[in-house]
Amino acid sequence: MLDAMNRKVFVTHELPGRRIHELSAYCAVNVWLGPGLLPAASLREELTGCEGLVCLLTDRIDRELLDAMPDLQFVSSMSAGVDHVDVAALTARGIPLGHTPGVLTDTTADTAFALLLAAARRITEADHFVRRGEWRRENRWSPDFFTGKDVSGATLGVIGLGDIGQAMARRAAAFGMEVVGWNRSPKDIPGVEQLSLEALLARSDFVSVHLALTADTRGLLGAAEIAAMKPGAVLVNTARGGIVDEPALAAALASGALYAAGVDVFAEEPVPTGNPLLALPNVVLAPHIGSATTRTRARMADIAAANAIAALQGQPMPHCVNPEVYAR
């Protein structure tokens, strides 16, 4: 036990689930208790002398921070994506990086399809209309009252055919949609017609983005790609904000070139008040809640804790982003 107490691990936020409490059997655990999220300056201070780090996607783990932490031996992130971490810098140091893939697949696909439906049927606009007291007897119904866009029978284009993209395709099929897809490396997915990105954008009534943010995918849907989308289409993004050019998307929505959008992720989070998407009625906005169910977040925390425990036991992490570090 004395040896365990000489090993320090920092956890950047109180976590749900059960397994995080098991960490204290292997090390001295320091948890940031707030208020709010951990400031970057505090992360540097709290991590000093620590062997391990359990972090969130809001914690930036860059080369400068790592260079100042010679004792660090592992990082476990409670996230599927790891674009907040300099993976190359960790790998160069031989430091394993844990993440939490798979567990949030269906939860995030549910969010994406909810945004698709809400955008298509103008649910947010209708909600605001009722709450503002604008639904009165004299305008209670008409043939064109809050008419929206049909989902059943429409074509969904899925950009990124990983686990979440495939889960989105299954939901679309259940709604009677035709599904087409594009992936950076070709994948044969039953019920999904493979197209080039250009062909997908031109053909799809709805486009849903399900890619990791990398150097290759940053800005993938820029002004030219958005202009190439089918007139009156709907764009949904629950992946990462940097993949879509937000000013170009806002311009297409404002002009009527696109019908609507559902957006859960942004290039800058929280969203600055000047973001042009905020002023548009035909955008359904959410604050990065793709995986936000009680069960899924607890399962993510349990996986993050399991990765940390494995590292403390000198074993490979069950879910490691850079397993090549174990071959050294």
For the chain, the farthest-separated pair of C-alpha atoms sits apart, in whole angstroms, at 76
Residue 183: C-alpha distances to residues 73, 186, 229, 263, 323 (Å):
34, 6, 17, 21, 24
Identify the active-site residue in 13, 99, 240, 299.
240
Identify the active-site residue in 99, 288, 297, 299.
288
Question: Is 269 assigned a catalytic role?
Answer: yes
The answer to whether residue 62 scores a pLDDT higher than 60 is yes
Query: How confident is the model at residue 249, as a pLDDT?
Result: 98
Predicted confidence (pLDDT) per residue in 203-239, tens digit: 999 999 999 999 999 999 999 999 999 999 999 999 9
Predicted confidence (pLDDT) per residue in 271-301, tens digit: 999 999 999 999 999 999 999 999 999 999 9
1: confidence class by pLDDT, cuts 50, 70, 90? very low
Q: What is the 3-state secondary structure (H, E, C) of 191-258?
A: CCEECCHHHHHHHCCEEEECCCCCCCCCCCECHHHHHCCCCCEEEEECCCHHHECHHHHHHHHHHCCE
**Whether 219 contacts 243, CB under 8 Å:** yes
Q: Look at the chain and count its residues.
A: 328
Predicted confidence (pLDDT) per residue in 64-115, tens digit: 999 999 999 999 999 999 999 999 999 999 999 999 999 999 999 999 999 9
The answer to whether residue 258 scores a pLDDT higher than 50 is yes
pLDDT, averaged across the chain: 96
Whole-prediction pTM: 0.90
Is the alpha carbon torsion for 211, 214, 216, 218 positive or negative? positive
